[in-house]
Chains A and B, each alone.
Chain A
């Protein structure tokens, strides 16, 4: 018997996994439901709204050329809103995309810069301080592309909330607080599957991270994101974590900071619990990715330029037969 088997026999919970989400800075959360963070079982019988729109985005970038050691990057970002009809089929209602070059324009020789500016109408500049250090340069590129994507998603979310029907909900992948107007909308939900930012500590944190499947935590208020707009949030466990890691099947839900959110947290959680099926496979984080959001991402991938698709592992020619 191994040492960990002995520990499990002694009362430890079986688990697996390795590196977790990257840590992110987060403010302390204030509990708004009860006096202590508790695990609440979900309400029976999910009330799924008749009409729900789902928003997700994607990003792709590839190095296309080098100016000396400075990579010249081709980037593509896109976001879409797809509305679910009464048969459960998603239909696209809005889609936005942007293709642009990422380059340290100021550091480029005049001929190359003129050529780039002439050929690529949309250029995102990289600060000159990163030139000469390709690894840091690429981190910066990634950051630029991610920010551009977040901006695109925020714009689309704001537009989508304006078009929402009377009883229609908007569920978006990521934080709700990126946009004040979206964060204050009564029928907008943010579904967060990365848990680098921890808002809880001590016993509350332990209760949240060991939440049983089919339970949610008490609601707490968080401030975060670019806009620092306050939202209400809670954790929801979709699949049992025992035997996996602590974050397995764990979602954090964001909704507007309003008493009504607290009142409806169980009802909304039961709805999201019902969204476990179909499984969002083959996505690696299917345990906490809602299938409709996965489908929006797949839709965007299908629209993305083929040359930006993920590079093959081997660069040898490959036949299909």
Chain B
């Protein structure tokens, strides 16, 4: 991993200087270099050569500020010398004395105790071994059970050295979570996360167990082609080799997308005929939705009465045989059943009770109407994700596989539906990780646009509470949040504050002017504002100062390129879509047979039969489909469904504990 230290003695590139006005301290020192030097802001340097001046002390530092000045006493003298003509200023035969003067923040001192001011001495460019020492990576890189995850290459002075994160502090349990922020399109946030996931999958130590990733694709085709190879340059491949990460796309990717409103076409941009077979439908019924009813209620809706009525539905009505008191017995298993249930109650209050009462079982009719509207509304707004009827198609709960990426494409789903998907998936992950029954020991959840899902201000939504919960308690469970946003200052401070590892791409100057960046020097801010694509600033618990690294382009097809190479197919007619889905299940299926079979059938019946076939995956798909279509397709029996109440989330408060 780390190249052995060269026996050849490196030439010093600078010298520490300390004056009364600008002395060395235990945390900062100053040095000068030749005018033409290869180091710059972010370079890691080493002070100490065992000379009498520096003694046995070795100090590692990162350059945080640079100064250049000449012996010019006042700018006016330059004007006079050039006789007021800037063109003549360059005619001066002698170049003025100049200095390159640098300020470095101490990364590490050896010995660490007693902590002393940095001694005078020669300054050297850090080599691989020095970088490992400086960033305290030696503890987790050279231990018997290494936990090093490459994050990129530190590049300075014509050298590069791998920089590693500690898996114990990236994925738990010591610390966890990663937050990445930067300008849209220039900070390469998604690319960085894709590379880091590849790096985690390649280097996550076996003694720490199994790891998977769940990525929510919330915009365009960003994460739709993680299994397809992208174009890499020779330099990218060299960087992959240097970091020990295979330059290849993810081997195991499962992509889930809801259906469109027609119930048969997939609501994703990965619909090219060559790829669409790999996309699995994501559809949920009433049972999956109702546990997260709070997601569907806006702030004004949340009150004790609505909560009480939802609890009543959940505990007494759903999946049970229930007498409404007006002479009708209900068994509510679908949205259609729920609609009938509400209709029966409202009719009962109007007709049977003669409109004299506006309460039913202590619940006010207005509360019931509000809850009914919110619940039934979701099946309309998110048609395709939420089905009125029929079986659901879900993630492989309890069957997550090691080093697999699960992409959930909700880019084209109504925002309310996105919230619902996010809330339910994360809750299920948390629930199953708590029970150690998910199939993996750690899950990275990648959420882009944290500005939207966990804003620093605005209402306390269920999703925000959930993100806070992951941030504060996820590391104990192995539930790790990789969040990305454009403006870190606008994300809830406890979400970003709990991220053990923080990465910054190119930043907007306005963002850098916010208080969260006050610890950075003006030079570092300036570098952040002009970072090239592929370079990031990393903060990690082991690093006492931010470090700049370069990472290779991710080995996967970028979303934009993917759409160009695999243009999405147009929606196909209902019959054709049914045929394709059945052929996908069983290649022996004959299209004409299917079309003849469904020619005069209700679409809802066909959808139910198709969903049943998808869920069952029988050997003879057509025979099973025909059999199911022959009769009313019963929904999955819910009696035996074990209701796992999702642990309540703590209310958002300023005090996290």
Contact = CB atoms under 8 A, between A and B. Distances in A.
Given A90-B94, A321-B21, A277 B72 contact: no
B77 A274 contact: no
Contacts of B87: none
Given A298-B71, A319-B20, A277 B97 contact: no
Nearest to A52: B93
Interface string B70-86: 01111001101110000
B20 A279 contact: no
A52 B74 CA distance: 27
A268 to B, nearest CB: 14
Given A276-B81, A279-B77, A321-B21, A295 B97 contact: yes
- Range class of the B interface residue count: 20 to 34
B92 interface: yes
B88 interface: yes
A277 B92 contact: yes
A296 to B, nearest CB: 11
B91 A279 contact: no
A202 interface: no
A100 interface: no
B6 interface: no
Contact of A279 (B19, B21, B81, B93): B81
B73 A278 contact: no
A298 B95 CA distance: 14
Interface string B86-116: 0011011111110000000000000000000
Q: Kindly name the residue among A277, A320, A321 whose own CB sees the greatest number of chain B CB atoms within 10 A.
A: A277
A84 B21 contact: no
B94 A281 contact: no
Given A295-B97, A298-B71, A298-B97, A277 B20 contact: no
A107 B72 CA distance: 48
Interface string A284-321: 00000001100100100000000000000000000111
Interface SS of A by simple majority: loop
Nearest to A88: B95
Given A276-B81, A278-B72, A279-B80, A291 B20 contact: no
A281 B71 CA distance: 8
Given A282-B73, A319-B20, A277 B95 contact: no
A277 B81 contact: yes
A278 B77 CA distance: 8
Given A298-B97, A320-B19, A320-B21, A277 B91 contact: yes
A282 B92 CA distance: 17
Given A319-B20, A320-B19, A278 B78 contact: yes
A278 B89 CA distance: 8
B95 A89 contact: yes
B94 A275 contact: yes
B81 A88 contact: no
Contact of A278 (B19, B20, B21, B81): B81
Interface in A10-38: none
Given A277-B82, A319-B20, A321-B21, A291 B77 contact: no
A319 to B, nearest CB: 7
Nearest to A276: B81
Nearest to A295: B97
A169 B378 CA distance: 90
Contacts of B19: 320
A87 interface: yes
B71 A84 contact: no
A84 B94 CA distance: 7
A-B CB proximity, top 7 nearest? A320-B20, A277-B81, A88-B95, A277-B92, A279-B81, A282-B73, A279-B77
Given A90-B95, A277-B91, A279-B81, 19 more contacts: A88-B94, A274-B93, A277-B81, A277-B82, A277-B89, A278-B77, A278-B81, A278-B94, A278-B96, A279-B80, A281-B73, A281-B74, A281-B77, A291-B94, A291-B96, A295-B71, A298-B97, A319-B20, A320-B19
Interface of A: 48, 52, 84, 87-90, 274-279, 281-282, 291-292, 295, 298, 319-321
